Amino acid sequence: MKIETTPSIEGIESFCKENFTDICPFINYNFFNLLEKTNCTTEQKGWKPEHIIVKQKGKILAFIPNFRKFNSYGEFVFDQIFENAFYQLGYDYFPKFLSAIPFTPVTRNNFFYSDSNIDENKLYDELKSFFLKKKVSSFHLNFIGENKSKTIENHFLKRTGLQYHWKNKNYKSFEDFLSKLKSRKRKNIIKERQSIIENNISFRIKTGTDIKLNDLENLYSCYAKTINKKWSKEYLTKEFFLSLGDFKLLNDTILICAYENESFIGCSVHFKKEKNLYGRYWGALYEIPNLHFELCYYQAIDYAIENNLELVEAGAQGEHKIARGYLPVKTFSNHWFNSDLLVKPIQNFLKSEEEKIKETIELLNDKYNPFNDK
């Protein structure tokens, strides 16, 4: 078994197009290639592609999407506590290795993709030896499915996180969903939606070839507005949005556009895979009360019910989502550290953190559950 890296996913296009697939739409050759081609994943942004290839007798056995990271931006698994621990010992934390979907906190089932049966224990041992040769501080696997995370925790420490997801309980309509909420929560959603109607705001849902270049330009404008408002970093370039169609990524794209008296005012973009809907970005050209909730949550729920989808993931963080039917769920990541001194303290911290997250979920479900069938 031989391990090496490639600076571009293009170098293994045919293998990836056959094997690089998962439960979520972002584990996709075209998506990763688009990020490279439009200068979203670059060394200057702290995301240098250094994808891992596993070979045997010259044949590719497996592919691991991987980046040499020079910062922790755009990851959504916050590791500053690990960074500080390294600095306190006089060690450098960057560069590190990260296997993740760039700028996207969406769970995937796996982290290596193969067309062959592989001795996984041998693979993990070989990977750790490879990381030592590469002299990286650590290796991180963000947003891994629970089953995979548990099976590899003897090799890579398991960490638990928290998100909020909406689940379809066979609702017949949005009104049916509302009827299952507690009275106060139901009235608040009705009030928020009514304010949108009173402002003469309407919505159009566009998918696939219905999404034109002008729509993508509007989407980028909204994304940039939101980034500037949050004083955040613009990870995705304008070229990324405008090229979604060129890279054949519009078939899974759901664009929800808002209009005030027929004039475009904002939008949200979602991606669909099988029975799941993943909310990603939103924005408005100017401030309108409750438009965020409508574009990001209620329209997504409406679409999911109408299309018999089972799950809506609306991104990271946000306890305000609970009142709108998005309940807390655990997320998982796994980690390896190039320091014998830090492994045990980090392991203890992760166990304590996991217990606190478990308590938090229990508290949120007990005191803040919006449903009346608790």
Q: Are the C-beta atoms of 328 and 364 separated by less than 8 Å?
A: yes
Residue 174 and residue 152 share a domain: no
Same structural domain for residues 72 and 152? yes
Same domain? For 232 and 111 the reply is no
322 within a domain of the structure (yes/no): no
Strand-by-strand arrangement of the 311-316 sheet: 47-49, 67-69, 96-99, 138-141, 327-337, 157-167, 311-316, 276-284, 263-273, 253-260, 201-207
Asked, for residue 116, whether it belongs to a domain, the answer is yes
Query: How does pLDDT run across 13-39, given as a tens digit for each residue?
Result: 999 999 999 999 999 999 999 999 999
Range of the domain at 122: 2-161+329-367
Tell me, yes or no, whether 111 and 194 share the same domain. Answer: no
Calpha distance 183→19 (Å, rounded): 48
- Among the candidates 266, 281, 309, a domain finishes at 309
Same domain? For 157 and 174 the reply is no
Distance CA 270, CA 19 (A): 24
Q: Are residues 151 and 181 in the same domain?
A: no
CB contact set of 41 (below 8 Å; sequence gap of 6+): 32, 35, 47, 48, 49, 67, 102
Compute CA distances 326 → 60, 109, 315, whole Å.
41, 21, 11
Cα 57 to its chain centre, rounded Å, is 35
What's the pLDDT at 315? 85
**Alpha helix segments (H runs only) across 97-233:** 120-134, 146-151, 174-179, 183-198, 213-229
151 and 191 together in one domain? no
> Where a domain ends, among 261, 276, 309?
309
DSSP three-state, residue 203: strand
The conformation of residue 231, written as its DSSP 8-state character, comes to T
203 and 279 in a single domain? The answer is yes
Identify whether the C-beta of residue 67 lies closer than 8 Å to the C-beta of residue 98. Answer: yes
Distances (CA, A) of 355 to 58, 93, 122, 326: 45, 26, 31, 22
For residues 332 and 131, what is the distance between their CA atoms, to the nearest angstrom?
21
- Predicted local confidence at residue 231, as pLDDT: 67
Average pLDDT over residues 330-341: 97
CATH number at residue 301: 3.40.630.30
> Quick one: tokens of 211?
């999404």
Residues 183 and 291 in one domain: yes
Strand residues in 38-156 grouped as ranges (E): 47-49, 51-56, 59-64, 67-69, 96-99, 113-114, 138-141
Assess if residue 262 is contained within a domain.
Answer: yes
Question: Is the preceding peptide bond at 328 cis, omega within 30 degrees of 0?
Answer: no
Determine contact, residues 342/85, Cβ cutoff 8 Å: yes
Report, as an integer, the average pLDDT of 33-61.
97
Task: Let me know if residue 103 belongs to a domain.
Answer: yes
The residue-averaged pLDDT of 243-264 equals 96
The whole-number pLDDT of residue 233 equals 82
* DSSP secondary structure of 313-328: EEEE--GGGGGGT-EE
Residue 141 sits in the same domain as residue 35 = yes
**Do 126 and 199 reside in the same domain of the chain?**
no
210 and 101: one domain?
Answer: no
Distance CA 374, CA 181 (A): 10
pLDDT tens per residue across span 105-163: 999 999 999 988 999 999 999 999 999 999 999 999 999 999 999 999 999 999 999 99
State the Cα–Cα distance between residues 96 and 327, nearest whole angstrom.
33
- Which residues are 333's β-sheet partners? 159
**319 inside domain:** no
Inter-residue contact 280 to 271 (CB < 8 Å): yes
Please give the Cα distance from 262 to 321 (Å, whole number): 29
Exposed/middle/buried for residue 268 (C-beta within 10 Å: 0-12, 13-18, 19+): buried
pLDDT band with cut points at 50, 70 and 90 for residue 374: low
Q: Let me know if residue 214 belongs to a domain.
A: yes
Residue 374 domain flag = no
Could you give the number of structural domains in the chain?
Answer: 2
pLDDT at 121: 95
Task: List b or e across 149-171, with b for residues whose CB sees 16 or more CB atoms inside 10 angstroms.
Answer: beebbeebbbbbbbbbbbebeeb
- Whether 317 is in a domain gets the answer no
User: Which of the four pLDDT bands, split at 50, 70 and 90, describes residue 257?
Assistant: very high
* Amino acid letter, residue 368: Y
- pLDDT for position 317: 81
> How far is it, in rounded angstroms, from Cα 30 to Cα 10?
10
pLDDT confidence of residue 232: 75
